[in-house]
Amino acid sequence: MFPLIRNGLNFVAQGSYDRSPFAFKESWHRTFFCAGACLVILVLSTICALLITDPLLASGLMDHVYQPKGVIGGVVMCLVMYTVRDFLLAYHADIVMNQRIAQANDWLSNGTYLIRSAKGEVSHNMGQALMLTSRAKDSDDGLHVSCIALVDDEPMLITVRFDNVCMVTGHGYNEPDKIRSMLESAAGEWRYEVAKNLGITFGKPDAADATPTAQPARQRQRQAANTGPLSTPGSLSLSGVGAKH
């Protein structure tokens, strides 16, 4: 039993109020995989049963192995029961996951999310957000959905988990540092492209982008007072001789 992890990302570069590009599709991969394994085991067990019941083969086996029919029959029955059990568990897990996917699709249009601020918690409607991305990951504790939207031209990261609870409310984060730290789980390997569209950088800004206000206050004061050049990093004046570090 392997949980299905949806690594795909629904992404619209310019954003959209239409929720159809961000809706999640139902999946039956686990059921199909376990059904195929179960079918293979059933075919192999049928072939083994036919070979064991063959009088010529059975007599030949009895000459070399002590009562092989009971051992082989028990192993085959265990394999068949195990694969059937996995098939039923996979079918049940896919049903639960698809129910949560349907709940997530409804939440994308009609759900709500909370934003915590100094004034408290403020509730917003998902239908009023300009959606950019949506991603879902299935796990044992529920379906985790991450969305990136633009609210009042500001990026917003919204996360929510769907389990057996009917009422679901997401949590919104509008701080750039918080969004940057959570962007890997929300966008995966597409995080750099998404960050570029949001105007969020992961590295230090270039030196060419530095402004005069980025200089230390003491340096700006000395330059404004025309008190002479400042010592540059890596050099020190000793008796008129420049000593390089």
Q: Are 134 and 142 in contact (CB under 8 A)?
A: no
Please report whether residue 221 resides in a domain.
Answer: no
How far is CA 178 from each of CA 15, 17, 128, rounded to the nearest angstrom? 21, 24, 22
Concatenated DSSP letters of 39-69? HHHHHHHHHHHHHHH-HHHHHHHHTTSSSHH
Q: How far apart are CA 160 and CA 126, in angstroms?
A: 12
**CA 203 to chain CA mean position, Å:** 22
Quote the pLDDT of residue 140: 81
Please report whether residue 242 resides in a domain.
Answer: no
Range of the domain at 128: 10-198
Quote the pLDDT of residue 176: 86
Quote the pLDDT of residue 244: 36
Please report whether residue 52 resides in a domain.
Answer: yes
Q: Going from the first residue of the chain to its last (245 residues), give the mean pLDDT of each consecutive group of 10, the final group possibly shorter.
A: 61 87 88 88 79 60 52 74 88 90 92 82 88 88 90 89 83 89 85 85 59 46 44 33 35
How many domains, in total, are found in the chain?
1
- Residue type at 233? P
Please report whether residue 220 resides in a domain.
Answer: no
Other Cβ atoms less than 10 A from the Cβ of 185: the count is: 14
Quote the pLDDT of residue 210: 45
Please report whether residue 211 resides in a domain.
Answer: no
Angle at 4 between CA 194 and CA 186, to 5 degrees: 20
Please report whether residue 3 resides in a domain.
Answer: no
Please report whether residue 132 resides in a domain.
Answer: yes
Hunting for tokens 């969004």 — which residue is that? 179
Please report whether residue 75 resides in a domain.
Answer: yes
